[in-house]
Amino acid sequence: MKKTKRDIRVLGKKDLQEFFLSHNIPSFKGDQVYQWLWKKGIQDFNLMTNLSVEHRKLLKSYFEIKHINIDVKQCSKDGTIKNAVKLHDQFTVESVLIPTLKRTTACVSSQVGCSLDCVFCATAALKRIRNLNADEIYDQVIAMDHQSKLYFQRSLSNVVFMGMGEPLMNYKNVLSAIDKITEPQGFAMSPKRITVSTSGIPKMIYRMAEDKVKFGLAVSLHSARQQLREKIMPFTNKFPLTDLSKALNYWYEHTKKQVTFEYIVWDGINDKKEDIQSLVKFSRQIPSKINLIQYNPIDNSLMKQAPKKTVEAYLKALKEARIKVTYRHSRGEDIDAGCGQLANKL
């Protein structure tokens, strides 16, 4: 009977040390393997050149490395790169590399499909198939760091969890991936350069605060009026804005980090004076800044971007209320790589 091999990246450093000790091999070999897996992102035991041939054979007899593959790559006219990421079980997610003059940002996915039902998002139509493992999330970062160096001659500077899926519905694996991205023996990125974007699940925001995470938090808000928000994001009928506000204040008290509200302005939906006033009122309750986002159209949607004068009315009201606000133009729209457009269409 063929022996079932374990995915080696499920093991921690201590587990690897104990594995070698159990075979009468010094434990520091486990440290070396850990560095190959996480700092160097090696996907083949044969490339672990500071291990003897015998030790590599031993690893191969017990373990496998279930790495991702970039199946298809698309390049936008603005330099944005969208990847179709093939997983070990043949499911696909998408990741996006976004270059600017001074930095490159990796937008990573956390689920195959999505647990939620936001009407403006193409990923929501796919429904959730499974959560990504920590190593599958980490591999996206490594792959896009390689692309950043190849195409833009610089290392990856930022990571945002704004791809496919709701990160807080895959909490354990997302935090485990971030640990690997930030630890010195991993990718060694500062947590200040990482942002997790959520649709706003209060109990998980409390948990993040209590876990004393160091990364940034963004919340997809899109309306500060409960009834309207439920129409745009139906699942929020279980998560009232009052609960979200309390959770975000708790977050700030424990982390001292402002939250960023992501907010799209649609024509005929959230473009009225009361929508603007509600956002100003809600934002004042929480140490926050606003990121107004250009809408990226998706298939079979009647929603459309509000005209420039409506966006300017939002900007004017928020600035007059001394609330930090920026307007973010879409990137990669021509290859369906913008926010809300990821739907495995490559």
**248, 259 contact by CB (below 8 A):** yes
Single out the catalytic residue among 94, 136, 166, 333.
94
Quick one: which of 116, 156, 110, 97 has its CA closest to 137? Answer: 110
306-324 burial, b at 16+ Cβ within 10 Å, e below that, comes to beeebbebbbebbeeeebe
Single out the catalytic residue among 107, 118, 121, 339.
339
Which residues contact residue 238 at a Cβ distance below 8 angstroms, ignoring those fewer than 6 apart?
Answer: none
Residue 50 in tokens = 């500071």
333 is catalytic: no
320 is catalytic: no
- Write phi, then psi, for 196 (nearest 5 degrees): -105, 125
Placement of tokens 């745009």 in the chain: 232
Task: Kindly list the catalytic residues.
Answer: 94, 339
